[in-house]
Structure 1
Amino acid sequence: MAETTRSGGCLCGAVRYHLRGEPLTAGLCHCADCRKVTGSAFLHYADWHLYQFSTTGEVRSYAGRSFCPQCGSHLFNKGDEKVEIHLGTLDDAPSDIRPLVEGWAKRRERWLPILAGTPMFPADP
């Protein structure tokens, strides 16, 4: 069976990334930082090992969050062993990546429907 590959990038196309294989986990984060970064009620994210990730183009970072310096698109958070991809930046939408957890549920908007079977944690899971 062929390995799953996904691609994404910024709004202007200056930064591109590619992912091989399936994510380690996926979720929604409702924390204040993620809300500010996305300008939305939550961040839909998934984590991959660094060896599953490659990128082209110049990125800048603020507090570990990488973005395109040309258009300002927030793309990923790169750590020592894994990368957290902002799934709204994938080329194919909707993606088939369903949230497995919700973090910072104490900040979750009350009008959002509950995702059946998805555990919610008051803060970080």
Structure 2
Amino acid sequence: MTVSRHEGGCLCGGVRITATGQPDRIGICHCLDCRKHHGAVFYAAAMYPAAQVQITGDTRSFRGRHFCPTCGSSVFAMDGDTCELHLGTLDTPGALVPDYEVWTIRREPWLPAFPGMALHDRDAES
């Protein structure tokens, strides 16, 4: 059995991430907090148990959202025992495919629909 492994990091390479195994879920968020944090109209992340993620390099954080202090790249977030890996920081971001969207009440009307997504007006039910 092959163990899935996903690697990534920040723009300058000072922070590196290795996630092993499969994430618990992969989704897209349209909430205002994520927009402000990423500077984009939505963001995508893979949620892993923190024990499956290894992070090397120095980070700073604001409310659990970690970024590289050198280049400013937003890299991951911690929420309890869950590590949210930002798909845009992965070396192969297309290898993990989101299957749900949250905070669709904030979704921009000009953004085309993503096929096959479960949609949630606000946060998804646990």
TM-score (ref. length: structure 1): 0.94
User: 1:96 deviation in Å?
Assistant: 2.3
Give CA deviations for 1:7-26 in whole Å, capped at 9, x if unaligned. Answer: 01100011101000111001
Q: CA deviation at 1:40?
A: 1.1
Q: Distance in 1 between matches of 2:27 and 2:97?
A: 7
Match of 1:51, SS state, is helix
Measured against aligned partners, the alpha-carbon deviations of 1:30-70 in whole angstroms (never above 9, x if no partner) come to: 00111111111101111001111001111100011000000
The aligned runs of 1:103-122 (5 Å cut-off) are: 103-122=102-121
* Displacement of 1:79: 2.6
Which deviations, in whole Å up to 9, do the C-alpha atoms of 1:79-98 show, x marking residues without a partner? 331100111000114x2222
Alignment of 1:42-57 (within 5 A): 42-57=42-57
Structure 1: runs of 5 or more not aligned: none
CA distance in 2, matches of 1:107, 1:96: 26
CA distance in 1, matches of 2:114, 2:92: 22
- The aligned counterpart of 2:41 is 41
Q: TM-score w.r.t. structure 2 length?
A: 0.93
Counterpart CA distance in 2 for 1:111 and 1:14 is 36
1:7 equivalent to 2:7? Answer yes
* Deviation larger for 96-105 or 3-12: 96-105
Instruction: Say what the alpha-carbon RMSD is for the aligned residues.
Output: 1.1
Encode CA deviations 1:68-118: one digit per residue, 9 max, x unaligned: 00010001111331100111000114x222212111000101122222331
Aligned to 1:73: 73
Question: Percent identical across equivalent pairs?
Answer: 44
Q: Which runs of 5+ in 2 are unaligned?
A: none
Is 1:86 the counterpart of 2:89? The answer is: no
Match of 2:31 in 1: 31
Rounded to whole Å, the distance in 1 between the matches of 2:14 and 2:98 is 28
Aligned mates of 2:5, 2:97 — CA distance in 1: 16
